[in-house]
Amino acid sequence: MNSSDCLLWVLYASLLALLPTVLVAIPALPIRWKRSLGFLVTVALCLLLIVVGIHALASPALHASIPGPLTDLAWQFTLDPLSGFFLLVLGSVGFAASLHAIGYFHHGSQSKLKQVLLPYPVFVTAMVWVLLAANAYTFLVAWELMALSSTFLILVEGQDQRRQQAAYLYLLIAHIGALALFVAFALLSHGDLISNGSFQRMAQLSSSPLVANVVFGLTLLGFGAKLGLLPLHAWLPEAHPAAPSPVSALMSGAMLPIAVYGLLRIDWQILPAGAVWWGPLWLGLGLCSALFAVLYSALQTDMKRLLAYSSMENMGLILIALGLSRIFAEQNLWPLAALALIAGLFQVLNHAFFKSLLFLGSGSVLHATGTLEMSHLGGLIRSMPQTAFLALIGIFALAGLPPLNGFASEWLLLQAFLLAPSLPSGMLRAILPLAAAGVVLVTAVAAFAIVKFYGIAFLGRARSAVAKHEAGIWERASMAFLALFCVLLGVFPGRVVDSLSHITALLLHGSQIAHQSALALTPISAQRASYLPGVFLLGIALSIAVVFVLVWWRFGRSLRRAPVWSCGFAADYSAQTQDSPTGFSQPLLRIFGVSLSTLRSRQGLGNAIPVQIPDPFWKGFYLPWARAALGMAAMVSRLQHGRITSYLLYSFLTLIVLLVIFR
C-alpha cells in the first residue's frame, strides 16, 4: 500500500464496511453467515484503522477532496497525527467490540440481527468520517450520522419504555450539542460555511476575542454534551446500560473520545490563542464532573450504569489534563504543556482499552446470567473463570494500579501537576497542587467503585442469579486482546509517549517532550522522576515467586477446605449475609451524602432490595427545563384552534409585520 494513499484507502474501506447493511437484506443467506460476515467486515475495517492510525501518527498530513452534492460543497478529508491517533483508538475498540458482537448476538433472532447490522456499520463509518473531516460540512454530516445511528443501536435490545426514554434523551442532548456546534462553525467561518467552511480556512480567518469566547463556549456545550460534562451528562448513565454491550463499549471507548478530538481540533487548532481563563475553566469543569461522576459510579447497583458513570469520570480526568496543558501553553511553557497533553491523550487510549474490556465483560455476564443487577450476582469467578480473570486485569487498569496502563497516564498527569511551580501566577501555583489532590481523590474513589463492581459480581457466593456457561470463544478472544494491551501499554509506556509526541508537535508549535526509552518513563529528567514499569512488574513477580517457593519448600502442606468461620456466626450462613451493592457503598453515601441533599433521606437502606440512586441533576436541572418547555408548548397551543380563518389571520398579521419592518 502506498503510504500517501492511506487516506483514500480508509475512505473506500469505510464505504465498503457499509456492505453488511445490504447483506442482512438478502433472505437466502443463513443467519450464521450474516452474523459472522456482518461483523467481520467491521473487524477488517478496524484492523485497517489500527494500521493506518499508527502510520499516520508519524507522517505528515494527507488531504483528499471528493465532489459533493453542490458545486462549492465538497467532502474534504484530512489525515494527520491527531486524527490518526483517534483512528487508532476507534480501531482498537471497534476491533474488539465487533469480535465480541459475533458471540454476543449469537442467540439473537433474524429481526434483531437486522436491527443491529443496519445501524452498526453506519455508526463505525460515521465515526471514521468525523475523525477525518476537514470541513464543517463533512464534520457536521458525519457527526449527525453518528448520533442517529447510535440512537438506533440503543433501541436494539428491546423497545420498552425505559430504553425509549434513554434513546430520546440521548437524541435530544446530542442535538442540542450539534446545534451549538453548527453555530460555532458558522461563527468561525464568518457566516459563510460554503466558501470558508474548511478547517484550514477557518484557522486563517481571524475572529474578535468576543467571537472567540462565544465559539469556545459553544464548542464546550457541543462537545461537552458528548463527553458527559456535568449538567449534560444525564444521557450517559441511561444510554450505556440500555445499549447492547459491544455498542456500549464502542460508545464509551470510541465515541466519547471523539468529543475530546473535537475539542482539540477546534478549540486548540482552529481557534487562535484564547483567553487566560480557558484552561482553568476546562480544568475546573473536568474536576467537578469527575468528582460527581465517581461518587455516583460508586453508588450504582447496575454493572453497566456503574461503568457509564466511570466513563464520565474518565472524560473529566482527560479534560483536566487538557486544561492543565492549556494553562501551561498560555504561559509558553511548551514542554510542560506537551507533558500534560500527552497525559490526557494517553488516558484516552487507556480508557478505550480497559473500559471496553469491562463493558464487554459485563456483556458476557449478562449473557451467562441474564442480569446485570449486582444484587443478584456473585461468585462468577468460579463459573466464568476466564472472563473473571480478564475482567480482573481490566479493573486493575481502571483502578490505576502499577504496572498496568491506567497508572502510567495517571502518573504522567500527577507529574505535570507537580510542575505547577514553574507558572508565574502565584494563585495558580498554589491551587494546582490542590487540584492534584482532587485528582487523587477521584482515582481513589474510582478504585472503591471498581472494587465494588468486581467484588460483588465476581467474588463471594452467588446471590440469586447463576452463570450457566463461560463466555463464548469470540467474546473471550476480544477481551483477551484488550487485556493484553492493558498490560502492554502499561509496561511499555515510553513507546506510547514517543508516538504521542507527534501530536503535541502538531498542536503545540513543534514542542515535544524528551525521547523516552521503551521501558521507562522519564518525562523531564531521570533525576526529576522516573518510573520503570517493566522492572516493577519483574520485581513484584520475582518477589512473589521467591516467597511462594520458600514458603512451599519450608512449610508446604496440603490445604484443607473448610466451611467459613466468620467469627462463629456462620451457622445460618446464606449468600444474603454478604454485602448488597447498596450496602457496600453505604458508608460512602453517608459521608458524601451530606453534600448531596437528595440522597440524605435514603441512608439506612442497606438490604437486598436494589436501591436506585437518582441523579440530582434530574430534579434540579432537567425537570425545570422540561416543565418550562411543556408550559411554553401549552401556551402556543392556545393559538391553535384548528379553524382556517384564524390561521389565515395569523399569516396576514405576520405579513403586515414583516412589511412594516422590511418594507
Partner 1 sequence: MTSLIIWRDQCFQILFAVAAAPLLAGWLKTVRALLQNRRPAGILQPYRDLFRLFHKEAMIPEQSSWLFRFTPYVMFGAKVMAVAIVPIIANGLPLASAADVIALVGLLAVARIFQVLAAMDTGTDFGNYGAHREMLISALAEPALLAALFTASLLARSTSLVQIVHLSQIQLFSLHPSMVFAAIAFGFVLLVENARIPVDNPATHLELTMIHEAMVLEYSGRHLALLEWAAQLKLFLYMTIGFALFLPWGIAANPLLTSLVIAAGLVLVKLFFAVVVLALVETLLAKRRLFRVPEFAITGFLFGVIGLLSHFMLGS
Please give the Cα distance from 245 to 503 (Å, whole number).
Answer: 31
- Which listed range, 38-46, 581-589, 620-628, 652-660, lies at the site for partner 1 (CB under 8 A)? 581-589
- Is 472 a binding residue for partner 1 by CB under 8 A? The answer is no
Using CA atoms, how far apart are residues 122 and 22, in angstroms rounded to an integer?
Answer: 12
Q: Does 25 bind partner 1 (CB under 8 A)?
A: no
Closest contact distance (angstroms) between CB of 534 and partner 1 is 9
Site for partner 1 in 116-155 (CB under 8 A): none
Q: How many residues bind partner 1 (CB under 8 A)?
A: 85
Cell of 465: 442469579
Residue in 570, 632, 656, 658 binding partner 1, rule: CB under 8 A: 570
- Helix H segments across 425-532? 426-458, 473-491, 493-507
Q: Which of 289, 499, 582, 585 binds partner 1 (CB under 8 A)?
A: 585
Considering only 587, 614, 620, 631, the residue that binds partner 1 (CB under 8 A) is 587
Interatomic CA distance for residues 82 and 132, integer angstroms: 10
Q: Which of 34, 100, 452, 476 binds partner 1 (CB under 8 A)?
A: 452
Q: In terms of CB distance, is 47 or 520 closer to partner 1?
A: 520
Is residue 287 a contact point for partner 1 (CB under 8 A)? no
Q: How far is the CB of 508 from partner 1 (least distance, A)?
A: 23
Q: DSSP label at 254?
A: I
Q: Is 91 in the site for partner 1 (CB under 8 A)?
A: no
The DSSP line for 3-31 is: GGGHHHHHHHHHHHTTHHHHHTT-TTS-H
Count the residues in the chain: 663
Nearer to partner 1, 159 or 566 (CB): 566
Decide whether 196 or 578 has the Cβ nearer to partner 1: 578
Choice from 54, 414, 477, 484 touching partner 1 (CB under 8 A)? 414
Largest CA distance in the chain: 102
Phi/psi at 304 (nearest 5 deg)? -75, -30
Q: Give the Å distances, CA to CA, from 67 to 34, 73, 190, 195, 553.
A: 33, 7, 23, 14, 74
Q: Are strands 75-79 and 62-66 parallel, antiparallel or unpaired?
A: antiparallel
Q: Note whether 429 binds partner 1 by CB under 8 A.
A: yes
One character per residue 588-617, x = contact with partner 1 (rule: CB under 8 A): x-xx--------------------------
Whether cis (ω within 30° of 0) applies to the bond prior to 335 is no
Q: Does 180 bind partner 1 (CB under 8 A)?
A: no
217, 231, 284, 433: which one contacts partner 1 (CB under 8 A)? 433
Q: Minimum distance from CB of 227 to partner 1 (Å)?
A: 24
The residue among 569 and 618 lying less far from partner 1, judged by its C-beta, is 569
Q: Do the Cβ atoms of 202 and 81 come closer than 8 Å?
A: no
Of the residues 214, 459, 596, 605, which one makes contact with partner 1 according to CB under 8 A = 459
Residue 468 phi, psi dihedral angles, 5° rounding: -90, -25
On whether the CB atoms of residues 649 and 266 are closer than 8 A, the answer is: no
For residue 438, the minimal CB distance to partner 1 (Å) is 8
Binding residues among 209-238 for partner 1 as defined by CB under 8 A:
none
Give the binding range for partner 1 (CB under 8 A) out of 248-256, 345-353, 439-447, 626-634.
439-447
424 belongs to the binding site for partner 1 (CB under 8 A): no
Q: Which is nearer to partner 1, 559 or 633 (CB)?
A: 559
Site for partner 1 in 330-389 (CB under 8 A): 378-379, 381-382, 385
3-state secondary structure of 134: coil
Min separation Cβ 491 and partner 1, Å: 12
Q: How far is the CB of 277 from partner 1 (least distance, A)?
A: 21
Nearer to partner 1, 380 or 506 (CB): 380
**Residue 536, interface with partner 1 (CB under 8 A)?**
yes
Told to check if 514 binds partner 1 by CB under 8 A, we report no
Question: What is the C-alpha radius of gyration for the chain, rounded to an integer number of angstroms?
Answer: 26
Give the N- to C-terminal CA distance of the chain in Å, as an integer: 63
Angle between helices 405-418 and 303-330 (to 10 degrees): 30
Closest separation in Å from C-beta 95 to partner 1: 29
CB atoms within 10 A of CB 542: 10
Note the helical H segments in 300-376: 303-330, 334-369
Is residue 528 involved in binding partner 1 (CB under 8 A)? Answer: yes
H or E stretch at 631: helix 623-639
Contacting range for partner 1; rule: CB under 8 A; set: 263-271, 353-361, 426-434, 481-489: 426-434
The reply on whether position 527 binds partner 1 by CB under 8 A is yes
Scan for cell 446530542, then name that residue.
Answer: 174
Rounded distance between C-alpha atoms, residue 62 and residue 57, angstroms? 12
Q: What is the DSSP letter of 622?
A: I
Residue from 353, 407, 453, 492 touching partner 1 (CB under 8 A): that is 407
Q: Which of 436, 491, 496, 500 binds partner 1 (CB under 8 A)?
A: 436
Q: H-helix or E-strand containing 470?
A: none
Q: Quick one: which H or E segment has residue 123?
A: helix 119-132
Q: Is 411 in the site for partner 1 (CB under 8 A)?
A: yes
385: cell is 473463570
Contact residue for partner 1 among 104, 105, 123, 531 (CB under 8 A)? 531
Which residue matches cell numbers 432537567? Answer: 622
Three-state SS for 195? coil
DSSP 471-500: PPHHHHHHHHHHHHHHHHHHH-HHHHHHHH
Rounded to the nearest whole angstrom, what is the least distance from the CB of residue 525 to partner 1 in the complex? 9
Interface with partner 1, residue 518, by CB under 8 A: no
Q: Is 451 in the site for partner 1 (CB under 8 A)?
A: yes
Among 332, 530, 597, 607, binds partner 1 (CB under 8 A): 530
Does 418 bind partner 1 (CB under 8 A)? Our answer is: yes
Alpha carbons within 13 A on the beta-carbon side of 662: 6
| 557 touches partner 1 (CB under 8 A) | yes
Helix (H) or strand (E) holding 161: helix 161-188
Give whichever of 560 and 663 is closer to partner 1, judged by the CB atom. 560
Closest to 281 in 3D by CA, of 226, 235, 213, 338: 213
The distance of closest approach from Cβ of residue 49 to partner 1 in the complex, given in angstroms and rounded to an integer, is 32
